[in-house]
Amino acid sequence: MITYVVTGGAGFIGANFIHYLFKTYDDDVRVINIDCLTYAGNLHNLKACEAHPNYRFIKADICDSETLLKELKDESIDYFINFAAESHVDRSILGSGPFVQTNIVGTQRLLDLARTLDVKRYVQVSTDEVYGDLDETGFFVEDTPIQPNSPYSASKAAGDLLVRSYYETHKMPVVITRCSNNYGPYQFPEKLIPLMISNALEGKSLPIYGTGTNVRDWIYVEDHCRGVDMAARKGVLGTVYNFGGDSERTNLDVVKWILKSLDKPESLMEYVEDRKGHDFRYAIDFSKAKAELGWKPSVDFETGMERTIAWYLDNRSWWECIKSGDYQAYYEKMYGKKVGKLDE
């Protein structure tokens, strides 16, 4: 029996990761999910796992070392996977405090905790955004210099550097993963793809930042989850693995694809003020993960998007519930000044 501790397991990728573990290993794994349930954490994402005898949920902040030590001291932990983070670039532009607290201080607390608990492997789930951005050419490789441009990516980069330092200083068994833009079920509707799908279904305008020509490399979330698991099990300690979807698209390509698939008019698109410090392009070279882990993405953009749109159509109450709560205040603050006419 292999025991995973997953932090941030009630969020988008963390929840998909827990589903992936039970689907792949069933009774051969135990999963302990630690999440403090910020606006982005949602226990509905894990309804299907709740009854599993090998699943345990602990509601706690990753900065709260005392509680975590008390809860985990008797556990024998194989893989400790840190997904917990403040993850939205736009929110980090509105205010960076929570990003510094969770993504930097939280990472430091988890590293000390994981050392005390003597975990077999600690995996830091990071992002390609730590590398900054690219022009039309080139790819991020694992030793591309760290040059983050947003408070979000700067806080993730600081977390990565702490992880690296614990390897160099304490010989702690760590691996860092850096992935491109994920999409799929359970993604909070503040991020591009779920925001555009849900706005289109509600007949609302679709806010396109700037010219819409920025490029992202889209990866279906389950491919990322498989990569994180492979890095935990087989990754070379003290090193970084990049994961990408081999699916570069401009934002306009993505939004038009969604509108076409939902049979909605392009007139719903509304060009709005650009994001401050908006990274132009991300593109991932994942040849190291391919060579060392035998990993490559298995779901192409069209298939992944069809699955994703089907999920948002089938789970309308999931996102309608989110969009009817505090999220509305964020949307007004974020888009109120950008969009000419806000939808009621």
- Residues at the site binding ligand NAD, with contacts judged by CB under 6 A: 7-8, 10-14, 35-38, 40-41, 61-63, 83-87, 102, 106, 125, 127, 156, 179, 181-182, 188
The verdict on 224 binding ligand DAU (CB under 6 A) reads no
Q: Which does 10 bind (CB under 5 to 8 A by kind): ligand NAD, ligand DAU, none?
A: ligand NAD
In this structure, the number of other CB atoms found within 10 A of the CB of residue 144 comes to 18
Q: Which of 35, 129, 160, 222 binds ligand DAU (CB under 6 A)?
A: 129
Q: Is 152 tagged catalytic? A: yes
Residues within window 39-98 making contact with ligand DAU, judged by CB under 6 A: 87-89
Q: 125 touches which of ligand DAU, ligand NAD, none (CB within 5 to 8 A by kind)?
A: ligand NAD
Query: What does the block give as tokens for 97?
Result: 């405090």
25 part of the active site: no
Stretch that binds ligand DAU, among 14-22, 206-214, 233-241, 316-324 (CB under 6 A): 206-214
Where do we find the tokens 């304490």? 170
Q: Which listed residue (3, 16, 103, 180) binds ligand DAU by CB under 6 A?
A: 180
Tell me the C-alpha distance between 44 and 245, whole Å.
27
CA distance 215 to 303: 19
Q: Evaluate the CA torsion angle 273, 187, 92, 282 in order and state its sign.
A: negative
Minimum distance, C-beta of residue 273 to ligand DAU, in the bound complex (Å): 10
What does 275 bind: ligand DAU, ligand NAD, none (CB cut-off 5 to 8 Å by kind)?
A: ligand DAU
How many other CB atoms are there within 10 angstroms of residue 266's CB atom? 11
Confirm if 230 and 295 have CB atoms less than 8 A apart.
Answer: yes
274 is catalytic: no
Residue closer to ligand DAU (CB basis): 173 or 244: 244
H or E segment and range at residue 60:
none
CA distances in angstroms from 258 to 93, 216, 262, 264, 306, listed in the order given = 27, 15, 6, 8, 9
